[in-house]
Amino acid sequence: MTQKAMTSMATAQKAMMVDQTVCDLTKLIKIGQNNSIKLKSVVQSQERLEVMLIEQNGYIATIMSKLEKLDILNIISTEVKVKGGKGKRKNKEEFYQSGKLCSALLHANHVKKGYYIRRLKKSL
């Protein structure tokens, strides 16, 4: 090969490399643009949420103060003495909140089941 042919091939290869580099750069630029658009929408959503949060902080504070007042009144009204076998002081809500209600229902169901089984046996 002659020197001219070699230089023309080298320039052609360099041109192809430049074209490939330009193609890669355009792909990267498109990816960057898409990412910036997504980030812009995320930032706008975050700003809207912050504004809503600031607006609702006042509402939340007033509701919380009302709930605290109601909670104090509710605690005072629910503490009732229930005379038991040993005169223990019980809270009505304690029965429902703990597992006592669930265990009482299960026990009642078990007793009822036993009753029906005994009744069936007697009838046979």
pLDDT tens string 68-100: 777 665 555 555 444 444 555 555 555 555 566
The pTM score is 0.39
Inter-residue contact 101 to 95 (CB < 8 Å):
yes
pLDDT tens sequence across 4-21: 666 777 777 777 787 888
Domain ends where: 60, 78, 96?
78
> What CA–CA distance (Å, rounded) separates 110 from 104?
10
- Whether 89 and 74 map to the same domain: the answer is no
- Whether 26 and 57 map to the same domain: the answer is yes
Mean pLDDT of the residues in the chain: 72
> What CA–CA distance (Å, rounded) separates 36 from 42?
10
Instruction: Give the chain's radius of gyration (CA, Å).
Output: 39
How many domains would you assign to the chain? Answer: 2
Question: 55 vs 45, 59, 75, CA distance in Å?
Answer: 15, 8, 31
- Whether 66 and 95 map to the same domain: the answer is no
Domain that holds residue 109: 82-124
